[in-house]
Amino acid sequence: MKKNTPISTQFFNRQNGLLNVAEISPATRSLGPGLRSVLWVQGCPFHCEGCIAKDWTLLKENKLMTVDEVVGKLLSNPNVTGITFSGGEPMLQAKGLLEVALSAKEQRALNIICFTGYELKHLLNRPPNKWVAELLQTIDVLIDGQYIRNLNDNKGLRGSSNQKVHFFTDRLKNFDFEKHIRTNEIQILDGQALLIGVPPKQMLLAFESAIANLDSFPSRLVDHERA
Ligand code: SF4
């Protein structure tokens, strides 16, 4: 496994109450129990081989949104009973996510699931910023650790078997995060198709192969145009 890469949080902290958002889905059934909204944050310090969200790992500004704007979208569907934080790396924006979690929970009884590339022991002993500890207190289930392609056992709501499911409360104890059959949804958001959920292994392989072919596509196109 790659070591956790240290990163300056300056980039994320200077945004004065704004979150750097990759995407938001107001409702899905593919990232945890019940109907959930999902917030994917922009930027991740890790470089997991096989990551399917490479565009969202870039440490750059994407959609800057206020806490109120984010919460408004996350709660826009009245039937949503939970929120999932993913990314990107949520812990890099712990301050903003803490405010989102507190504000959303004030408005509705919700459970929160959070994915992170950091291992829990790292977050407890050497958190990347001072808001991580408080954010962890708002979370019901944390799924931790980087994605390791060779350990993808095609099971559950974690990408690979090294990733551990930590129950901080009993709220979601009845959901089998380890063996849950993976499902995916394709949603059209802001004119873009978004694949939601932890993809089954075969789909991942097909996706990676499609991306690899894309790399050679422009040169084939140029050759064709020259012919
Ligand atoms: S931690 Fe997640 S978002 Fe970051 S590189 Fe790994 S798989 Fe991608």
> From the alpha carbon of 116, which atom of ligand 1 is closest?
1
Asked whether 87 lines ligand 1 (CB < 6 A), one says yes
The whole-number pLDDT of residue 216 equals 57
In this structure, the residue with its CA closest to atom 3 of ligand 1 is: 88
Segment 33-53 shows an average pLDDT of 94
Distance CA 176, CA 198 (A): 14
Specify the ligand 1 atom closest to the Cα of 87.
3
Tell whether omega for the bond before 117 is within 30 degrees of 0, i.e. cis: no
Tell me, what DSSP letter sits at residue 35?
A: S
221 CA distance to ligand 1 middle (Å): 31
Question: What domains lie within the chain, and their CATH numbers?
Answer: 10-198 (3.20.20.70)
Residue 88 CA: which ligand 1 atom is closest? 3
pLDDT at residue number 15: 56
Ligand 1 neighbour 89 (Cβ under 6 A): yes
Does the pLDDT at position 168 exceed 70?
yes
Q: Which of 25-34, 39-48, 64-73, 203-212 has the lowest mean pLDDT?
A: 203-212
Q: Which residue's CA lies nearest to atom 7 of ligand 1? A: 51
Token pair for 32:
């945890």
147 alpha carbon – ligand 1 mean position (Å): 6
Asked if residue 219 has pLDDT above 60, the reply is no
Give 51 Cα–ligand 1 centroid separation in angstroms.
6
111-116 and 82-86 beta bridge pairing: parallel
Per DSSP, the residues of 37-78 read: EEEEES--S---TT-S-HHHHS-S--EEEEHHHHHHHHTSST
Q: Which atom of ligand 1 is nearest to the CA of 147?
A: 7
Report the residue count for the chain.
227
What does the angle CA 71 – CA 72 – CA 75 come to, to the nearest 5 degrees? 80
Query: What are the percentages of helix, strand and coil residues in the chain, rounded to 5?
Result: 35, 20, 45
- Centre of ligand 1 to C-alpha 25, Å, is 19
Closest ligand 1 atom number to CA of residue 46: 5
What value does the mean pLDDT take over residues 15-38?
92
State which H helix or E strand residue 196 sits in.
strand 192-196
Distance 220 CA to ligand 1 centre (A): 30
The whole-number average pLDDT for the span 68-77 is: 98
Segment (H or E) for 11: helix 10-13
Task: Look at 6-20, 95-109, 137-151, 158-172 and tell me which has the smallest mean pLDDT.
Answer: 6-20
For a substitution probing ligand 1, which of 1, 7, 38, 46 has the most ligand atoms within 8 Å of its CB?
46
**Residue 189 or residue 160, greater confidence:** 160
DSSP code of 91?
A: G
Q: What is the pLDDT of residues 89-114, one digit of tens each?
A: 999 999 999 999 999 999 999 999 99
Residue 70 reports pLDDT greater than 70: yes
Q: In sequence order, which residues have a C-beta less than 8 Å from that of residue 114 and are 6 or more positions away?
A: 84, 85, 86, 90, 97, 135, 139, 141, 142, 143
The residue written with tokens 């408004």 in the block is 72
Going by C-beta distance under 8 Å and a sequence separation of 6 or more, which residues neighbour residue 213?
Answer: none
| Burial status of residue 86 (CB atoms within 10 A of its CB: 0-12, 13-18, 19 or more) | buried
Instruction: Give the atom of ligand 1 at the shortest distance from the alpha carbon of 44.
Output: 4
